């Protein structure tokens, strides 16, 4: 079948249909797409020239390596989704974030498959992975060796030696020594950790250390109202630690609510998801926003958001902040110290809340079930049997913890 060139009107229609209507906000994205699909002149052989705008870069903390401000969250089966790797590189989204544990290993294996077929591209890609589940130096080394093998590479650019640090107590001398050894052997270039629980404490502690190069932390419009976290972000930035924001999307607003984030930003020419990326990156202490992107439509929409130079205004930021306050009871802020102290027999409330988020927001039920079952295996009784009333009282977001736990049990057990 003959392929038809796409014109501007059709592009806009397609963008709207795929949920990326606000890609129109970026003229350069549109130009790139249209240029790549110019109709051929009759009887003239056409050399297809595809030009893609490249996403801007920021320096990775004191390492001063330029990395794209939008990074590719590859927490899914990349073996079955090789096209996404090719597409990210077209836009300059060459920071790929994976983990030993993602998709049962198929995230790293998919990257390895790409590098086996395209070994010349290794030097162009900044690969980041994590030691999922490692408890000590030996298991961290085993994770790293397995990751290198899976990904067909002799080194990773940035290694998170702790996947999901929840307490500064995990920043031990043993970890520091391990990082130094792995760097000396040329297995990793930079070292850090990821965190989505007690982030303010973890970041504040890291800012006092000279051996943490980068941290991947939850950071979004909901969390930006947490003064302790913002102060810790500032301390890390001043210490030269690169901060990569994850979970930038937080809650998805209710489209039926005329006063929702989505309805507000669509008037401004952005989708809700684009506005959430823009607000995080407007904070220049953040090096890059790492966003899970399972399909080309989402990638294109996110690329459009970061190519577009429009800044969110003071009133946009005020709207987001007030919306965050109104809706915070639906968002777990990861301040696990608070609810853990209230229910010491079940100190994993925030993990259960995270499992619900994976299920509802990301649509990743297998991952949600895995997180839920990890929690269930660590407590002595069914998680629905504990008394969460004190946790609800202390929770700064006033989350209905008891009923959410019951819901998670029903959906994910």
Instruction: Check if the beta carbon of residue 236 is closer than 8 Å to that of residue 207.
Output: yes
Q: Give least dist CB 319 to ligand SF4, A.
A: 22
d(CA 370, CA 354): 11
Q: Degrees (nearest 5) of the Cα angle 165, 97, 286?
A: 70
User: Is the Cβ of residue 279 or residue 336 nearer to ligand SF4 in the bound state?
Assistant: 336
Note the maximum CA span of the chain.
77
User: Is the Cβ of residue 90 or residue 337 nearer to ligand SF4 in the bound state?
Assistant: 337
What are phi and psi for residue 52, nearest 5 degrees? -125, 135
**Considering only residues 88, 94, 301, 350, which one is a binding residue for ligand SF4 as defined by CB under 6 A?**
350
b/e per residue, 149-158, with b = 16+ CB within 10 A?
ebbbbebbbb
Q: Give least dist CB 249 to ligand SF4, A.
A: 17
Concatenated DSSP letters of 279-317: HHHTSTT--EEEEE--SHHHHHHHHHHHH--PPPPHHHH
User: Is the Cβ of residue 237 or residue 350 nearer to ligand SF4 in the bound state?
Assistant: 350
**Considering only residues 279, 353, 367, 368, which one is a binding residue for ligand SF4 as defined by CB under 6 A?**
353
User: Is the Cβ of residue 101 or residue 347 nearer to ligand SF4 in the bound state?
Assistant: 347
d(CA 52, CA 344): 53
User: Is the Cβ of residue 269 or residue 400 nearer to ligand SF4 in the bound state?
Assistant: 400
Note whether 352 binds ligand SF4 by CB under 6 A: no
Q: Give least dist CB 165 to ligand SF4, A.
A: 15
Q: Which of 148, 56, 65 has its CA nearest to residue 100?
A: 148
Give the 3-state secondary structure of residue 113. Answer: helix
User: Is the Cβ of residue 21 or residue 352 nearer to ligand SF4 in the bound state?
Assistant: 352
Binding mask 369-398 toward ligand SF4 (x if CB under 6 A, else -) reads --------------------------x-x-
User: Is the Cβ of residue 56 or residue 400 nearer to ligand SF4 in the bound state?
Assistant: 400
**Considering only residues 69, 93, 349, 383, which one is a binding residue for ligand SF4 as defined by CB under 6 A?**
349
Q: Which stretch binds ligand SF4 (CB under 6 A): 70-78, 155-163, 301-309, 349-357?
A: 349-357
Q: What is the 3-state secondary structure (H, E, C) of 361-381?
A: CCCCHHHHHHHHHHHHHHCCC
User: Is the Cβ of residue 268 or residue 361 nearer to ligand SF4 in the bound state?
Assistant: 361
Instruction: Check if the beta carbon of residue 222 is closer than 8 Å to that of residue 322.
Output: no
Site for ligand SF4 in 281-340 (CB under 6 A): 332-336, 338-339
Q: Give least dist CB 122 to ligand SF4, A.
A: 39
Q: Both tokens of residue 129?
A: 């992975």
The footprint of ligand SF4 (CB under 6 A) covers 332-336, 338-339, 349-350, 353, 395, 397, 399, 401
């Amino acid at each position: 079948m003959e392929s038809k060139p796409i014109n501007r009107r059709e592009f806009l229609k397609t963008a709207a249909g795929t949920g990326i209507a606000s890609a129109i906000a970026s003229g350069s994205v549109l130009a790139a797409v249209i240029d790549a699909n110019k109709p051929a002149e009759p009887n003239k052989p056409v050399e297809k020239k595809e030009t893609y705008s490249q996403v801007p870069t920021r320096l990775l903390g004191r390492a001063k390596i330029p990395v794209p401000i939008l990074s590719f969250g590859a927490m899914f089966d990349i073996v079955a989704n090789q096209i996404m790797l090719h597409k990210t590189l077209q836009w300059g989204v060459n920071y790929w974030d994976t983990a030993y544990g993602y998709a049962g290993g198929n995230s790293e294996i998919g990257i390895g498959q790409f590098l086996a077929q395209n070994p010349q591209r290794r030097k162009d890609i900044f690969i980041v992975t994590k030691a999922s589940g490692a408890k000590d130096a030996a298991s961290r080394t085993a994770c790293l060796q397995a990751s290198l093998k899976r990904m067909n590479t002799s080194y990773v650019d940035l290694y998170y030696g702790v996947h999901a640090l929840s307490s500064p107590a995990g920043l031990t001398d043993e970890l520091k020594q391990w990082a130094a050894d792995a760097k000396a052997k040329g297995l990793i270039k930079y070292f850090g950790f990821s965190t989505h629980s007690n982030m303010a404490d973890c970041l504040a502690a890291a800012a006092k250390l000279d051996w943490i190069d980068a941290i991947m932390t939850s950071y979004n419009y909901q969390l930006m109202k947490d003064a302790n976290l913002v102060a810790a972000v500032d301390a890390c930035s001043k210490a030269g630690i690169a901060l990569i924001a994850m979970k930038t999307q937080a809650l998805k607003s209710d489209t039926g609510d005329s006063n929702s984030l989505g309805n507000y930003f669509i008037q401004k020419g952005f989708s809700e998801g684009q506005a959430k990326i823009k607000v995080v990156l407007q904070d220049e202490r953040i090096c890059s926003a790492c966003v899970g992107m399972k399909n080309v439509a989402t990638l294109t929409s996110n690329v459009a958001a970061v190519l577009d130079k429009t800044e969110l205004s003071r009133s946009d930021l005020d709207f987001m902040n007030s919306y965050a306050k109104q809706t915070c009871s639906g968002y777990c802020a990861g301040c696990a110290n608070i609810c853990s102290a209230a229910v010491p027999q079940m100190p994993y409330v925030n993990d259960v809340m995270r499992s619900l988020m994976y299920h509802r927001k990301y649509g990743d039920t297998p991952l949600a079930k895995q997180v839920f079952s990890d929690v269930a295996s660590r407590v002595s009784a069914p998680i629905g049997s504990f008394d969460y009333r004190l946790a609800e009282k202390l929770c700064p977001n006033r989350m209905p913890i008891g009923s959410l736990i019951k819901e998670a049990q029903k959906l994910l057990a």
